[in-house]
Structure 1
Amino acid sequence: MNKKVNHHKIVLMIQLCLISMAISAQSEELMDLIKEETQNLPTGTELSIGVLEDGNWTKIGYQLEDNGFVKIKNEDKIFEVGSITKTFTASLITKLVDEGKMKLSDPIQKYLPVQMAQDSFKNNTITIQHLITHTSGLSSGPSSFTLPYLRALIFTPKNPNRNFKAKQYFRYLKKFKLDYVPGRKWEYNNAGYGLLGTFISDIIGMSWEESVRENIFTPLGMRDSYFTIDKHNKDSFIVGITAKGKKSKTWEMKFINPAGAIKSTLNDMIIYTSAQIAASPKKFGFFETTHDPLNFQIKMPEDKLWKGNAMGLGWWHNLEDPQNTFIWHAGSSGGYTAFVGFSKSKGKAVVILSNISSSNPSARAENRIPIPILLGQKILRN
């Protein structure tokens, strides 16, 4: 009897050793890939990386110094996540749709506080879905509005959207005449998400920021995610590196906060990403709705970054390899680049937060794709 027990123990120990060796080999392979892809980033660049595989998250934090890669513990440090914020805004819209408070086919005129000069063209109008999918054809930002653009250019060049306000965009819409069929062309549009934020606020009865906190941050337990940096969280905030290698300023965006204002940690973004894969359908079914690829009909431009991608209901769908597709979004602000991607069929996910501008020459790979984004895609494909 004892011999049988000892035999089983030995077999179990061997199995555990083999599993441990396999995990160790995977970790080494992952770290080798990370080092290879990020070795040319400038000194001072900090990355906080999470990888979900086989049901477990691996967390890696490091900083590039003159003497190479220095491992650090930074999963609770705060980075700007940029346009990944848009997936939170899209989630709130789909929540309102699921609750019957809004339709994706609703004309945006229904929710605007001003009347557009001409809101239809050949029986077509701009809808909520057009805003979510960047196919509205509307003007995208303050550069289209002389006064706020000049103010930003002169007074806050490191914070270009600070003086861009909703009332200025509504003034533009009041004169706007629709003379094309919306939905035919994908063109990235931050202001469209600013509009979605105002609609969310009006329907829910609280600010967009409060809506995100009450409906996403708090229920998920994202305790270290913010919209502003102040005396309460500044000690945990990682300073960004601009395109010119300088220290970045925190972006304040007012009207277009819903397009890119969220600051978060690796731990919190892991919670958010995990919820995309396995959240309760009853409580967070609206996340699933944002994964709708819309039949992959909205093709994104065939340049280096977007090649082989289709726009869904808030997320992007990478279709370059039909056997290895994934859902993703990236974010970039004055001194930060972030990536979130996942494959529900493989149970794999990647979160990358970094404090380097995607416009920094050293942050771009040979194909001009920002290195943190390219790294995230390569990890998902491996």
Structure 2
Amino acid sequence: MNANGNDNDLATFVTATSPEFGIPGVAVGVWANGQEAYACHGVTSVDNPLPVTADTLFELGSITKTYTATALMCLVAEGRVELDAPVRRYVPELVLADERAAAEVTVGQLLNHTSGLDWAVLVDTGDGDDALAAHAAQLAGLKLIAPPGVRASYSQAGYNLAGRVIEKVTGLTYERAVAELLLMPLGLAESFFHPGDVLTRRFAVGHNPGDDGNPAVASGWRRWRANNPGGGLMSSVADQIRWARFHLDGDASVLPNETLYGMRTSTVELRGSTLGNAFGICWFLRDVDGVRTIGHGGSAHGQFAELLIVPERNFAVVSLTNAAPGGIPFNQTVVRWALAHYLGVVDRDPEPLPHDPARAREVAGQYQSDAMILVVEADEVAMRLTVGIKPEIRAAADTEMPPDYPPAAMGLLPDDGYIITEGGLTGQRGFFARDERGAVVGLDLAGRAATRMPSA
């Protein structure tokens, strides 16, 4: 790697690989051997193309959650928030579908996705400074998938509520609090929540497959303001490498190292997930080829982001892309290449078991979460998984929703696990959940729980 931040191997790999996945523009950053390297390729938009650079802004999606969690940990370090305290200590007006859950759910359970809240409240509560307060009021209608603390299930709503805790404690808007606690002191000058800040800079737009199969600009550019804590940050690959370096090296003027590094400690185990073996404070913790990694991904409006950090090797890789369905598999390919190229660490998918028609028929059926429908089909020779947005959610959306994932081959793994073996979700793993009688009652994908529906 050259001192000027160039790496010919990285640039060659990114330039050769991104077209294979049909992606108009990508930005990749690596921190290795005490140096930064960047490789950018393609354009910000197929309709209004500008070259992607290391300062081009992409939607980070759920990587934003790492900022929300870190900001809350700043308040914990200052003694202004306690992780074990009930959320109602800070948001006394909180109402959930179950009163006992509303009284018991803690701040820490929001941060490690054990709050019991389902995935999201898909309601636009406006662009005013009261957006998060109005969002919190909508939580009364959100399904609870389990009592607080019982199991992990990835929740956007939980992180948006964590953002409301930040507002109540600081007396600032969520966006202003994150800027004062993190963005400004860390010099993250190319990271923004407000569209007005982004529109004066070079930024990427997302793409979905058009009628001809080629990338077409996705209508709609960002979700509503109340979604900011769970997924609203726009940032550059260069700022994300700076963010990774903060979580590697620490900065005691922002957050004591003991608290920062404590975010990497396992708080709850994850079962059969591609994303990790456990949750820390927000971070997915995953052991790869004998090395512990921490990371997070994100998706929003045809844009996909991946951040992986290897603390014991002082290493980080960031990959930002602007097209579906190739964004997730491209990011995975980049991360795996970087781990192997810089660290000699090999990340492999497990091989599915030989097809067992009886086991496959046992788990076949339709599964639903608050926003998604997942259909498992099985016959004598194969299994397939279809993942789609509920029609009523798609019909009510005021912006273009991503396309559904068509049927893709999947295979079973030991202990009721499974892996998807083709398509845009290739390599994604999950598991089938059983009740106390051993009946299959649910499916987990990407850390989110879906309930099995009765057969017709």
| TM-score bracket for the superposition, by shorter chain length | 0.7 to 0.9
Query: Is residue 206–residue 322 contact of structure 2 (8 Å, CA) maintained in 1?
Result: yes
Q: Are 2:276 and 1:317 equivalent residues in the alignment?
A: no
Task: Say if 1:241 and 1:274 are closer, same or farther in 2 by CA, change over 3 A.
Answer: same
Tell me the residue number matched to 1:273: 244
Q: Distance in 2 between the 1:92 and 1:107 partners?
A: 18
Q: Distance in 2 between the 1:49 and 1:109 partners?
A: 41
Identical aligned pairs, as a percentage?
Answer: 25
State the one-letter code of the partner of 2:149.
Answer: G
1:178-211 C-alpha deviation (Å, 9 max, x unpaired): 8954223211111111111111011111101001
Tell me the residue number matched to 1:217: 183
Query: Is residue 116–residue 145 contact of structure 2 (8 Å, CA) maintained in 1?
Result: no
Q: Give 1:285's match in structure 2, choosing from 256, 271, 288.
A: 256
Tell me the residue number matched to 1:361: 325
Unpaired runs of at least 5, structure 2:
45-49, 342-456
Q: Distance in 1 between the 2:117 and 2:242 partners?
A: 34
1:348-375 C-alpha deviation (Å, 9 max, x unpaired): 111222212xxx2344xxxxx5321342
Task: Say if 1:75 and 1:178 are closer, same or farther in 2 by CA, change over 3 A.
Answer: closer
TM-aligned CA deviation for residue 331 of structure 1: 1.1
Which has the higher Rg, Structure 1 or Structure 2? 1
- Is the helix fraction higher in 1 or 2? 1
TM-aligned CA deviation for residue 228 of structure 1: 2.4
Task: Say if 1:202 and 1:47 are closer, same or farther in 2 by CA, change over 3 A.
Answer: same
Query: Is residue 133–residue 186 contact of structure 1 (8 Å, CA) maintained in 2?
Result: yes
TM-score computed with the length of structure 2 as normaliser: 0.63
Query: Is residue 119–residue 126 contact of structure 1 (8 Å, CA) maintained in 2?
Result: no
Query: Is residue 111–residue 282 contact of structure 2 (8 Å, CA) maintained in 1?
Result: yes
Task: Say if 1:216 and 1:32 are closer, same or farther in 2 by CA, change over 3 A.
Answer: same
Q: Distance in 1 between the 2:153 and 2:234 partners?
A: 25
Task: Say if 1:115 and 1:372 are closer, same or farther in 2 by CA, change over 3 A.
Answer: closer
TM-aligned CA deviation for residue 380 of structure 1: 2.8
Unpaired runs of at least 5, structure 1:
1-18, 66-70, 153-163, 364-368
Q: Distance in 2 between the 1:199 and 1:243 partners?
A: 38
Tell me the residue number matched to 1:242: 208
Q: Are 2:108 and 1:129 equivalent residues in the alignment?
A: yes
Q: Distance in 1 between the 2:35 and 2:311 partners?
A: 14
Q: Are 2:90 and 1:120 equivalent residues in the alignment?
A: no
| SS of residue paired to 1:345 | helix
Task: Say if 1:54 and 1:201 are closer, same or farther in 2 by CA, change over 3 A.
Answer: same
Tell me the residue number matched to 1:258: 229
Task: Say if 1:224 and 1:187 are closer, same or farther in 2 by CA, change over 3 A.
Answer: same
| SS of residue paired to 2:208 | coil
Tell me the residue number matched to 1:57: 36
Residues 109-258 of structure 1: pairs in structure 2 closer than 5 A? 109-114=88-93, 116=95, 118-120=98-100, 125-143=104-122, 148=123, 166-167=133-134, 169-173=136-140, 180-230=146-196, 233-242=199-208, 245-248=215-218, 249-258=220-229
Bigger shift: residues 369-378 or 198-207: 369-378
TM-aligned CA deviation for residue 275 of structure 1: 1.1
Tell me the residue number matched to 2:270: 300
Q: Distance in 1 between the 2:305 and 2:268 partners?
A: 23
| SS of residue paired to 1:283 | coil
Task: Say if 1:256 and 1:280 are closer, same or farther in 2 by CA, change over 3 A.
Answer: same
Q: Distance in 1 between the 2:306 and 2:294 partners?
A: 11
TM-aligned CA deviation for residue 48 of structure 1: 1.1
Task: Say if 1:63 and 1:179 are closer, same or farther in 2 by CA, change over 3 A.
Answer: closer
Task: Say if 1:166 and 1:370 are closer, same or farther in 2 by CA, change over 3 A.
Answer: farther
TM-aligned CA deviation for residue 219 of structure 1: 0.8
TM-aligned CA deviation for residue 301 of structure 1: 4.2
TM-aligned CA deviation for residue 316 of structure 1: 1.1
| SS of residue paired to 1:342 | strand
TM-aligned CA deviation for residue 30 of structure 1: 3.3
TM-aligned CA deviation for residue 288 of structure 1: 4.9
Task: Say if 1:204 and 1:169 are closer, same or farther in 2 by CA, change over 3 A.
Answer: closer
Query: Is residue 94–residue 137 contact of structure 2 (8 Å, CA) maintained in 1?
Result: no
Q: Distance in 1 between the 2:318 and 2:311 partners?
A: 15
TM-aligned CA deviation for residue 62 of structure 1: 0.8
Tell me the residue number matched to 1:10: none
Residues 325-336 of structure 1: pairs in structure 2 closer than 5 A? 325-336=292-303
TM-aligned CA deviation for residue 217 of structure 1: 1.1
Task: Say if 1:297 and 1:291 are closer, same or farther in 2 by CA, change over 3 A.
Answer: closer
Q: Are 2:22 and 1:42 equivalent residues in the alignment?
A: yes
State the one-letter code of the partner of 1:120.
Answer: R
State the one-letter code of the partner of 1:85.
Answer: T
Task: Say if 1:61 and 1:36 are closer, same or farther in 2 by CA, change over 3 A.
Answer: closer
State the one-letter code of the partner of 2:268.
Answer: I
TM-aligned CA deviation for residue 229 of structure 1: 2.3
RMSD of aligned Cα (Å): 3.5
Q: Distance in 2 between the 1:235 and 1:293 partners?
A: 33
State the one-letter code of the partner of 2:216.
Answer: K
Greater relative contact order (CA < 8 Å, ≥ 6 in sequence): 1
TM-aligned CA deviation for residue 40 of structure 1: 1.8
Query: Is residue 116–residue 176 contact of structure 1 (8 Å, CA) maintained in 2?
Result: no
TM-aligned CA deviation for residue 84 of structure 1: 0.7
Tell me the residue number matched to 2:75: 96
Q: Distance in 1 between the 2:311 and 2:139 partners?
A: 41
State the one-letter code of the partner of 1:299.
Answer: E
Task: Say if 1:83 and 1:180 are closer, same or farther in 2 by CA, change over 3 A.
Answer: closer
Q: Distance in 2 between the 1:116 and 1:103 partners?
A: 20
Q: Distance in 1 between the 2:283 and 2:90 partners?
A: 23
Q: Distance in 1 between the 2:132 and 2:168 partners?
A: 16
State the one-letter code of the partner of 1:350.
Answer: V
Q: Distance in 2 between the 1:256 and 1:287 partners?
A: 29
Query: Is residue 42–residue 64 contact of structure 1 (8 Å, CA) maintained in 2?
Result: no
